[in-house]
Structure 1
Amino acid sequence: MKLYSRSQVLFYSAATALVVILLLMGFGVLSFAGKPNSIDENLVSTELPVEDLLMTSDLNLNLGLNMNNNGDYSADELNNIRIYEALNEAVVNVTTEVVGYNWFLEPVPQEGASGSGSIIDKRGFVLTNNHVVDKAFKVYITLADGTQYEGEVIGTDYENDLSVLKFDPGDQDLVTIPFGTSQNLKVGQKVIAIGNPFAFERTLTTGIVSGLGRPLKNDAGLVIRDMIQTDASINPGNSGGPLINSKGEIIGINTMIYSPSGGSVGIGFAIPVDTARRVVPDLIAYGMVQRGWIDIVPVQLFPSLVRYAHLPVSRGILVSRVVTGGNAEVAGLEGGSSREVVRSGSSVICLGGDIIVGIDGKAVATLSDFYGGLENTRPGDTVIIQVVRGKQTREFNVKLSERPANN
C-alpha cells in the first residue's frame, strides 16, 4: 500500500483525497481476512436397488434465482452459484470419536478425525474417505441445517481409501449428488470442490483439472491409481468431499493435498468417481469389495533376496507358497520349497518358486503392480499370469479366487 507525505496529500484535490481514503479503507477491510492455523496433511472423502444408486441423474440447475439481468454475474459465476445452491445441502460434515486411554489406562472417548462426505442416496448413504472414519467407534453426520445423526460405517475399501456410511434420515427428504464419470476428463476443464475445510462448513472453491492418472500411496502403503490432480483449494476437512464438474456431477472424491506447510498450495488430489462407481455397490451389499485373488503367498523381490538366491530377475513377485488344492496350484503355478527358506524380519520366505512378472500383459514389478493387476477383477475371472521359472518365461491361465480379508 502506497504511503503519501503531507506535501503530497495537500497537492491532491479534495475529491482525489476522498477517493484515496475510501480505497485505503477497502484495503484495511480485506487485510482482516486472516488465515487460520493450518494442520499438516502432507501426502501421507425413496427405496432404490443397489444397482440404481450410481446412475447419473439429470440435475436441474435452473433454480430461478432472484438475480437481476444487468450483468452483475458472469455466466461462469451464475453456474457456480446454481451448482452450490443445488448441491451444498448434499455435502455433510463427518466427525468421529476414537478410544483413548487416561493415566490409569482406562478407555476414554476422544475427538477423532473430521472431514466431509456426499449424500449419494436418499436412504442416508454417504460416501467419504476411509481415513476420515478409520478406527472410529462413533461416527456423526451433520447436515446443512445443523441436524446431527449418529451413523455407522457399512463398508470400506482400504485400497482406494473409500468408505460408505449410513444414517437414518427418518422423514427428511435428503438432497443427493449425482455421479458423473471420470473417463472423459481433460486437463484444463473446470472443477468445483465443496467441503468443510478447517470446520468452515460447505465451503466452495473452484479450479481446474491440473493432471490425470497420478499414482499415489494411501495410508496403507498401497497405490491409488489414476488420481485426479486439481488446483482447487483443498485443505484439512475437505477429505471425503466431492469434486464436481460444471454439470453438477461428482467426478472425484477429494482425498489429499501435497503441501510443505499444511495449507493448500494448489496441488490437491481426488479419487476418480469411476473407482467409486465400481466399488460402492459392493460396499453397500457386502461391506467390502469382492475382488479376485491368486491364492498364493506373494513376496516382492528385494536386492538382498535376489543376490542371496541368485534369482534370474531383479523385479517381480516371488511365489513363496501356493494354497494346496487352490486355483493357482491347479493352473500350474509353483511355490517355493519348505526345505529352502530364509527369514526377512518376521517373514519366512520359501525359495525356488515362480516369479510373477506380468498379469494380463501388464508388467508386474512390485506388490503395488500385483494388486493393481487384480484391482478390476472378480472371483471366478480368469487372468493370464506370466512367470519366470528358472531361465524360462511361461504363461498360465489362472481362475481367480475370492480375496481373503487379510489380503
Structure 2
Amino acid sequence: MKLRPVLLVLVLLCGFYFLTTHFIPAGSVASWVHHTVKLGPQPNATETAFKGPLGTFNLTEADAAPAFDTEEQQNIAVYKKALPSVVNITSTAVAFDFFYGPVPQQGQGSGFILDKQGHILTNNHVIMNAQRVQVTLWNKHQYKAQVLQVDKNHDLALLQIDAPDLQPATLSTSQNLVVGQRVYAIGNPFGLSGTMTRGIISAIRSIRGPQNNPIEDAIQTDAAVNPGNSGGPLLNSRGEVIGITTLIANNGADQSSGIGFAIPINTAKAFLNDIAKYGYVRRPSLDIQTLAIGPDIAAQIGLAADYGLLIERVLPGGAADKAGLHGGTERAYQGNIPVMLGGDLIVGFDGQEIATPQDLQAALNAHRTGDVVTLTIFRGQRRMEVKVTLGDAKDQQGQLGQQQT
C-alpha cells in the first residue's frame, strides 16, 4: 500500500516527459511559462522604442527622477550649507633655477570663511613662504588675500580678503567626538574645487604635523582627502566645522590612503582667541631648558627615575623660576655637548607621564598661557608635586634658544 503513491508519481512524470518530448514543440513550454510569470509594466516607467540603422532599441525610462532617501538628503544638505563657506587658496612663491633665475612656484590648498569681514582660516603650510596668496570663492570670484597671523606650532594661518556677501562657516566643538561619527570633508583636492567626500571618525590620537609639530587630539578619518584638501573644513552631519583637514598618511604615495587627519576646531578657537585679545599667539611655556633622560644616563648620575626631563636651566623671572623649580648646578659633558646636572627631574604633567620633550610639548599645547598646572618632579630622591602658572613663550623669546619649553 505504501508503494502505490510512489508508483503513481513515477507514472505521471514519465507521461509528462513522453508528451513534452514527442508531441509538444520544443520551447513552447518555456514560452508558456515565460508568459505566465511575465511581470506587468514597471510603475513610474515608460518603454520607449528607438529605431535606426542597427535595429530597434526598446528602453525602459523612468517617468521622473526618484526621491532622495534620508541619507542622500543629509549629504545634500551638508554640501549646500557648507560649500559657500569653503575657499580655494593658491599660494605663489619664488624659487631660483640653476642659473639663479626666478621661477614662480604655485601650491594649492583650501580654507573656510570665519566671518563677513573676510577672515579665513587655513593651514600654515598652505601659505608658508608665499609671496602672493589668492583666494577663490565658490562662485569663482577671486581675491588677493593678506596673511594676518600664523601659528607654526599648530599649523594654522589667518587670512583676510575684501569681498562682499560672504557666508561664514558654522563652528562646532571638537570635545566629545566619538569614533564612528559621520564626517564630511570639502576642499580642493588636486585642484578640483568644491569636492566633498564622506567617512567616519576612525580615531582620536596625537600625531606629528607636516612640520613635525605635535597635534594633540587629532581627528583621524577615512574620508578621502588628497593634496589640496589641506586647510579645508572637516564637518559633522549638521554641516558644522569640527576640524581643519591637515595631513594624510600616504606611505610615500601622494594620494589618499584612507587615513587622514584634522586639527580639532577647539585648537583653532584658542588660536583665534589669542589673536583677538593680544594680537599674537600666546604659546604657553615653562621657561626652562631640559635634557631628556633614559635608563643609561639615569643610572650614571643616580637619578630616582629612569625617564623624564632633567631641568638644566631655569630662566630668571620665568614660570618655573616663580614656582621654585631648580636648574642644574654641576657642569658635565654628554659627548662633546656640555650639560648641567643637579636640577629637578620632571616626570609628570597634570597626572600625565612625561618621558620625552615631545610629551612635554604636547602637554603644553593642550593648555594656554596663564593656566595653572601640576608638575610631578624628583628633587634628588624626593618626589614632589609643584604647581606652576604657565608663562608666555614670546616674553622670553630667544633667551633660552631653541630648547626652551
TM-score normalised by the shorter chain: which range applies? 0.7 to 0.9
Conserved? CA contact 1:358–1:386, under 8 Å: yes
Report the equivalent of 1:127.
Answer: 121
- What is the TM-score normalised by the length of structure 1? 0.76
Please state whether the residue corresponding to 2:239 is helix, strand or coil: coil
Report the equivalent of 1:40.
Answer: none
Out of 120, 123, 134, the residue aligned to residue 140 of structure 1 is 134
Alpha-carbon distance in 2 for matches of 1:297, 1:151: 38
Out of 173, 198, 206, the residue aligned to residue 190 of structure 2 is 198
Query: Residue type matched to 2:160 in 1?
Result: K
Distance apart, 1:348 and its partner CA: 4.0
Question: Which structure ranks higher in relative contact order (CA pairs < 8 Å, sequence separation ≥ 6)?
Answer: 1
Distance apart, 1:197 and its partner CA: 0.5
Greater Cα offset, 76-85 or 125-134: 76-85
Alpha-carbon distance in 2 for matches of 1:179, 1:392: 47
Conserved? CA contact 2:285–2:319, under 8 Å: no
Report the equivalent of 2:171.
Answer: 179
Q: Does 1:217 align with 2:202?
A: no
Out of 262, 266, 282, the residue aligned to residue 254 of structure 2 is 262
Distance apart, 1:119 and its partner CA: 0.7
Alpha-carbon distance in 1 for matches of 2:389, 2:172: 33
**Residues 103-138 of structure 1: per-residue CA shift (max 9 Å, x gap):** 3446x2522431100111111111111111122222
1:98 and 1:302, CA in 2 relative to 1: closer, same or farther beyond 3 A?
farther
Gaps of 5+ in 2: 1-49, 55-62, 399-403
1:103 and 1:203, CA in 2 relative to 1: closer, same or farther beyond 3 A?
same
Alpha-carbon distance in 2 for matches of 1:219, 1:292: 21
Distance apart, 1:398 and its partner CA: 2.3
Alpha-carbon distance in 2 for matches of 1:76, 1:381: 43
Out of 210, 222, 226, the residue aligned to residue 231 of structure 1 is 222
Please state whether the residue corresponding to 1:271 is helix, strand or coil: strand
Report the equivalent of 1:271.
Answer: 263
Out of 84, 92, 103, the residue aligned to residue 87 of structure 2 is 92
Q: Does 1:356 align with 2:346?
A: yes
Conserved? CA contact 1:321–1:335, under 8 Å: yes
Alpha-carbon distance in 2 for matches of 1:126, 1:302: 44
Report the equivalent of 1:63.
Answer: none
Conserved? CA contact 2:294–2:308, under 8 Å: no
Distance apart, 1:387 and its partner CA: 1.0
Distance apart, 1:203 and its partner CA: 0.4
Identity %: 40
1:286 and 1:111, CA in 2 relative to 1: closer, same or farther beyond 3 A?
farther
May I ask how many residue pairs the two structures share in their alignment? 337
Q: Does 1:370 align with 2:360?
A: yes
1:197 and 1:287, CA in 2 relative to 1: closer, same or farther beyond 3 A?
farther
Conserved? CA contact 2:375–2:387, under 8 Å: yes
Please state whether the residue corresponding to 1:132 is helix, strand or coil: helix
Query: RMSD of the TM alignment (CA)?
Result: 2.6
Distance apart, 1:343 and its partner CA: 5.0
Query: Residue type matched to 2:262 in 1?
Result: A
Instruction: Show the 5 A alignment for 1:129-168.
Output: 129-168=123-162
1:306 and 1:97, CA in 2 relative to 1: closer, same or farther beyond 3 A?
farther
Alpha-carbon distance in 1 for matches of 2:141, 2:65: 38
1:318 and 1:220, CA in 2 relative to 1: closer, same or farther beyond 3 A?
farther
Alpha-carbon distance in 2 for matches of 1:174, 1:198: 25
Query: Residue type matched to 1:393 in 2?
Result: R
Conserved? CA contact 2:87–2:135, under 8 Å: yes
Conserved? CA contact 1:291–1:376, under 8 Å: no
